[in-house]
Structure 1
Amino acid sequence: MYGSSGNVESEGRYGLIDWIPSEPLGALNVRFYRYDPETGQRERLALVYNDEDGVYDTWVATDATHQPWYPWDPDDYDFLVSNGEVTFNFAGGDEEGKGLFKLGTTYAMYLLPVDTLGNWGGGGYLTFKLDERYSDDDEPVVELIPDKATVTPGGTFTVTVKAQNVKEYVADEYMEIVADHEHSISGGHDVSFNSALTYIQIPVVYSKDLSVSKVEMPNFMPKKMDLCATNDYQAVTPDATFNVLTIYRGFVDGAVESEQATDVLAKITFEVPSDYPTGTYVSAQIGYEGMFAYYPDYSELPNSIFRDSDDRPIDGIVTDLSPQSVLVATSTNETLIVKHVSAKSKSILKKVITPKRVPLKTERGER
């Protein structure tokens, strides 16, 4: 790219791809590729989405004739990838994607630049792979799942706080990531230790006009006594007031629960006011301190906490911070299609991942 440099830096489930052109660009075109983990054969990829939310969620393998070039914003010099949500900085405007880059799979991004005079430059591949202590199939994640898409004024809906693969992940007390330097991924070893899961705290921030009518906390940890508590309060800051319901779960030796263990931490039933305006949304999401511009008492900040029997934080568990919205409508058959908005902030993560520059590898021949 006119003597540019490029780099890929990985931090577990995230990777920062960046490049520096040696002169201003008039256009930048990109293509995406995937490598078969068993054969190493390269696949040409095209973006598609399977529903009407406008979020790319699937790759389709194609051939050279049908593989699209995606016009990239020529003034944008990086791309934050993850196995969750990503933002494609296309020339026509940002587009969202989700679940496109799988853990443990090697991908490549090919960049073909054009200068401000219309001259085509030499392109180059940036190859990357995201590595974690687990695969996408057994990723430990806590998420909110609403039981319906619409609710009538005066009605109720239930949000399930689900902890998928968390118990299984914590059962392995030694976890390690080994960086794949062959694909320009830095970081070496990432090792974490933990003993038995003892404590979980999940704050759920919900719309200010909702009220909590019921909280159920089924048995979660097998062969342990479950301790359960909640705290429903208002977090008041100079900028806003938030309703927060914090779920507390403790697991100790004692009388074993007779109920079969599940992966559900809580089921929260919310009630909508009878005079709530229709055509608007109510929502709930897992809270974290970054939602608050200012909060006087750090100990009360709504953060998720996972601790082991030695009172150490357990590393690697994902909390899905995406807001879960429910439409208030006169009929539960009424729906609105709303374009998804990414919950992850590229600007915040770029401060965490500090890249070092390495020469951009260029492969000539068929693109």
Structure 2
Amino acid sequence: MIKKSLAIVAAFIFVSNALALESFHNRFKLIRDDSGKLVEIRDASLTFKFSIWPYVNHITETLEREQDRMNQKSNYEAEIEDLLAEEAYLAGDKNSENIERVILSLKSLQGLDLRVMLQDESVKEVLEVFQTKITEVLQAFNPSIIARLDNPSFFYQRNVTYQVLTFALNFAKKKLSHLPVLNTVSFILMESERLINQRRMYHQNMLLHYFERMDEAELKMTASEVDLAYSSIYESRIPWFAVWESKNAKKNWANYGVNKFFQEFRMATNKLRSKGGLYTQMGERVNYAFQEVVYKGESVIVNLVDKESMFNSMPAVAYSFDRPNRVLRKRSVLQLGQLGLSFLTINGTIKDMATNFIKSFYENQTLTEGALYAHFDIQNNEFMKNELKKQTVNPFETSL
């Protein structure tokens, strides 16, 4: 009986590994030069094609759903506060002030007819100019490249979409004289540029999961090639102003990324130890960034890399099995809240603080979830993959 059980387990592991390898090689393409040296890793799902209209449709439909909620619910403000401050001790001080601003931002959108606004010919012209120029950039700079092993400055030097954004924003100022229209179009342009760029990091985090969980030989790579891929991934995350860090990456290229990854892994493990007493049950450690737990009677996956928000140091909830739409709902509200801030007549410094507060709930958390998506991709779990895809609130992720 025991032998039979062991045989079943061995067969399951074999099938799981086979699915994982098939998933890896369907997505990631290893590009070698004539001598057989691995120079690039590409993600086949990151395409050259770009249209701004999926985002335009997404934000329009999200806004209309939220406007319906505002009109139908008498307790709308309480619902938003509960969504952003579940912990009772977070109901006051700076957190509460910022939540009030989010609510005001959402209410400022109550009468906005985005469909009518976007039918304006000048608005269409601005959006189409942006779309054309971004397409040109994507064709010139291959967006499918997620690691470049032989060039320690490859990503640091590629800030081309921001240049297009700057051009488009200036063009919008010339074409659009009505301030609410200009604010809305500027938001669409900025969010589109951010979401286009952040696809790469999401997919790089998928690759990190494979590197952690799979043997390099099975991936048809050597250990040194994996190490160089780590370095390229972390080099791509160096901000433009951090010249010293770019120099550090070049100097320690062979080990730069591995050191960064395991530093992140240790920090995540330490966070789990420090917060673990608050969880009633511990489940599977999914990978370097995610852990299944039971928290206050709720089965969730927590993000050990990113905290819940600016004023909540608990590991962010990446997914709730008991309330599966809650994370998506929160991110949709925050995205609209960011749009609504542009309609509020408040001090610029306060507006910046509110923007940072909003972003602290979802920007980094969403990107780290690429590693969680890869976990379910390996398991061939289509339901969870679809749930996480929706949670990206990124309509440009059409081919995940």
TM category (shorter chain) comes to under 0.3
Q: TM-score, normalised by structure 1?
A: 0.26
Larger strand share, 1 or 2:
1
